[in-house]
A = this chain, B = another copy of it.
Amino acid sequence: MTKQYLVDQIIAKQSYLCVGLDTDIEKLPAGIPKTKQGVIAFNKAIIDATAPYCVSYKVNTAFYESQGIAGWEAMEETLAHIPSTHFTIADAKRGDIGNTSSQYAKTFFEVLPFDAITVAPYMGKDSIDPFLAYQNKWTIVLGLTSNPGSQNFEQQKLANGQFLFESVLEQVSSWASAEQLMFVVGATKAADLAAIRKIIPEHFLLVPGVGAQGGSLEDVTKYGKNNDIGLLVNASRAVIFASSGNDFAEAAAIAAKGYANDMKILLENK
């Protein structure tokens, strides 16, 4: 998917919502079997219910891998059910030396034809380049995450005065354009978004942590938006597990619509 197409979708819908399919088989609603078919049926119902209100789906690969082969099959069927209008992200956080990252790129760009994959930056440029070699695909590199552990390394101060995550944003953004590269920036650090936008004014930000993790959509939009809007705000559990009853799909639609309505108001206010 091109950046222009994604931006057009966002503008048409006035939504920059990404729904995270972190489908924990143990949390499936009553009445949905805790099987591969149950996961697939649940995801399809969630997708059908929420597609009008979001522009993207993020599949958290861990929740599928932990079911082994059945999980891999569920991931395939889930991806195949997502409308081509929606930007698809494999939230896989891969990254290894070049010949290995090439295999991961093949996995999530070809075998499973996602539009994008999340990638960890620790091992540096040659661990990220194989993903960037796909011109028609997107690489989403971890910048600043929203978990407490971000203080251990991401927020360590470097000798040059930058935080580590700032060095990641600065260096990695010099390796590829905003046409194929995005960054993960956690929403619980909305106050940092203004500083982040000075480093990477053009790149899209994938913002987890709104909803169950407690970030503020208003702050994220205020400090993170750029001329292309430039935001994908993810909500996972707050949407897909909005209800644990038979009305789970309806509840997910209501939750997604709620985010979309808030986004529309925030976009109109500017």
Contacts and interface: CB of A to CB of B under 8 A. Distances in A.
A68 B112 contact: yes
A52 interface: no
17 contacts: A24-B99, A24-B103, A62-B104, A65-B107, A93-B95, A93-B120, A120-B123, A121-B122, A121-B152, A123-B142, A123-B145, A125-B152, A152-B171, A156-B158, A157-B160, A159-B161, A164-B164
Contacts of A76: 68-69
A250 interface: no
B167 A156 contact: yes
A235 B148 CA distance: 36
Interface residues of A, number: 59
A223 interface: no
B149 A125 contact: yes
A167 to B, nearest CB: 6
Given A104-B62, A126-B149, A96 B93 contact: yes
Contacts of A22: 99-100
A146 B121 CA distance: 15
Nearest to A67: B111
Given A73-B69, A122-B122, A97 B145 contact: yes
How many copies of this chain does the complex contain? 2
Contacts of A63: 100, 103
A153 B121 contact: yes
Nearest to A93: B96
A121 to B, nearest CB: 6
A150 interface: yes
Contact of A65 (B93, B103, B157, B167): B103
Given A67-B111, A68-B111, A123-B150, 5 more contacts: A62-B100, A124-B148, A126-B148, A126-B149, A153-B167
A207 interface: no
Given A62-B101, A72-B68, A72-B69, A156 B164 contact: yes
A154 to B, nearest CB: 7
Contacts of A123: 120, 142, 145, 147, 149-150, 153-154
A207 to B, nearest CB: 14
A148 B128 CA distance: 12
A94 interface: yes
